[in-house]
Amino acid sequence: MRSSPPVTDALLTALPKTDLHVHLDGSLRPGTLLALADAQQVALPARDEAGLMRTVFKERYRGLTDYLRGFAYTCAVLREAGAIERVARELCEDSFAEGVRYLEIRFAPQSLAHARLPVSEVLAACARGIAAAESARNRRPDVARDGHPAFRAGIVVCAMRHFAPAFGPGYAAMFEAYPALPQSEIFALASQELVLQAIRARDAGGLPVVGLDLAGQEKGFPAKLHARAYQLAHDAFLGKTVHAGEDYGPESIFQAITDCHADRIGHGTFLFDAARVRSPQIGDRARYVQRLVQYLAERRITLEVCLTSNLQTIPALRTLARHPFRKMLRARLSVTLCTDNRLVSRTTMVGELRKAVDTFGLTADDLRRLLIYGFKRSFYPGPYLEKRAYVRSVIDHADRVLAAQGAA
């Protein structure tokens, strides 16, 4: 019988981890935000880290609108290539320091682009930051010896369910170019353009662009409006994830899977909430949810769960114990824990795991299974056989770590 060691913070740090759902523009170091704002003459509501954490990046928020307020400041300092490269490199470094060995950095490059910095250069700057971090980390003797898995990272581009001209120069240009088009068609075209740019960056530029995401308000902006963009990504063999079930119900998750070919779901918080099923064509809501859960389980469609940010943006949760993560585990769904926004949520991967262990009673074996899901369901930027070997090295290393802590 396998013994399971106590889950200490040292064990949480030592185990190899992924972070598949982390936003670049929500994960700056506070000191870097201050330095970049000073250099670029961007006004912030505070001039020191303590002030920023008190007024903008708080422990608790009133809701999603309050939570998103900080992105106006972070995006404002990420409209220079050097700033994007620096923040991407530092995000990799901070993640590596707590045992993350595979990272997928997501952001909307079109929101940072402008006349002097096209989307292609935004993506290239992020890729340079990743490459610098990979090179520096993987040369370290403690990574190379004893079969430690290498550090790798990829880029997931975010299309937006909706936007306005005020969101950035690139968005304003879309409205100027198509003044007679309905807004929904402009949103759809912008997503298609982003996918084509992402494919070109991967195939012609050799950048580690591995997937497509869809972010933004779900209610009133259904994922199916972006089905053409997702079909382009599907045809080009890009990984596909969709923010769904975060502020809408189970139908949003099903639409992401069917209309957008989603391989993974961002959040999925309201997966089990039959009361949020809205379609009058669905008579038995409970049966609909049951079948959707089974569909996800059988196809191993992974849920990217972000405990801290869900608690901060969904007032109805009130406490972490009410989060559906426990139900996800009982249903044996493929689940991986993620940070979402390290700065805005004031969290880390070790912090997310600690909360899961303390709230839901996870054992070391439970963690091993969850962490391996993250590596297996990643959009790894390399051939499949290389990914298999990489995952094998992760499993072997995780087992060595557990054995050193007393696991049989």
Helices within 106-182 (DSSP H only): 109-112, 119-138, 141-144, 169-177
pLDDT tens-digit profile of 297-329? 999 999 999 999 999 999 888 899 999 999 999
What is the DSSP pairing of strand 302-305 with strand 335-337?
Answer: parallel
Domain 9-404 adopts which CATH fold? TIM Barrel (3.20.20)
pLDDT > 70? residue 1: no
Strand order, beta sheet including 152-160: 17-23, 100-107, 152-160, 209-215, 239-244, 264-267, 302-305, 335-337
What is the DSSP pairing of strand 264-267 with strand 302-305?
Answer: parallel
**What is the domain partition of the chain in residue ranges?**
9-404
Cα–Cα distance for residue pair 328/305, rounded to 1 Å: 10
Q: Which range has the worst mean pLDDT, 114-118, 379-383, 402-406?
A: 402-406
Cα–Cα distance for residue pair 173/19, rounded to 1 Å: 33
pLDDT tens-digit profile of 335-354? 999 999 999 999 999 999 99
Strand positions, DSSP E, 9-151: 17-23, 100-107
pLDDT tens-digit profile of 177-232? 999 999 999 999 999 999 999 999 999 999 999 999 999 989 899 999 999 999 99
pLDDT in the model for residue 146? 62
Cα–Cα distance for residue pair 178/24, rounded to 1 Å: 29
**Residue in 134, 246, 304, 352 annotated catalytic:** 246
Q: Which H or E element spans position 3?
A: none
In angstroms, the Cα distances linking 95 to 17, 100, 137, 311, 350 are 9, 5, 11, 22, 10
3 band by pLDDT with thresholds 50, 70 and 90: low
Q: How many CB atoms lie within 10 A of CB 276?
A: 17
Backbone CA torsion sign across 190, 196, 200, 201: positive
Q: Which range has the worst mean pLDDT, 126-130, 278-282, 288-292, 358-362?
A: 278-282
227: helix, coil or strand? helix
Considering the chain, what is the average pLDDT of its residues? 94
In angstroms, the Cα distances linking 374 to 121, 123, 394 are 29, 24, 11
pLDDT tens-digit profile of 223-241? 999 999 999 999 999 999 9
Cα–Cα distance for residue pair 178/364, rounded to 1 Å: 54
Interval 233-259 mean pLDDT? 96
Cα–Cα distance for residue pair 307/288, rounded to 1 Å: 25
**Which residues are paired to 157 by β-bridges?**
107, 212
CA 366 to chain CA centroid, nearest Å = 22
Q: Which H or E element spans position 259?
A: helix 250-260
Are 49 and 343 within 8 A, CB to CB? Answer: no
pLDDT in the model for residue 2? 56
Please confirm, yes or no, whether 246 is among the known catalytic residues. Answer: yes
What is the DSSP pairing of strand 264-267 with strand 152-160?
Answer: unpaired
- Helix 250-260 vs helix 227-235: crossing angle, to nearest 10: 50
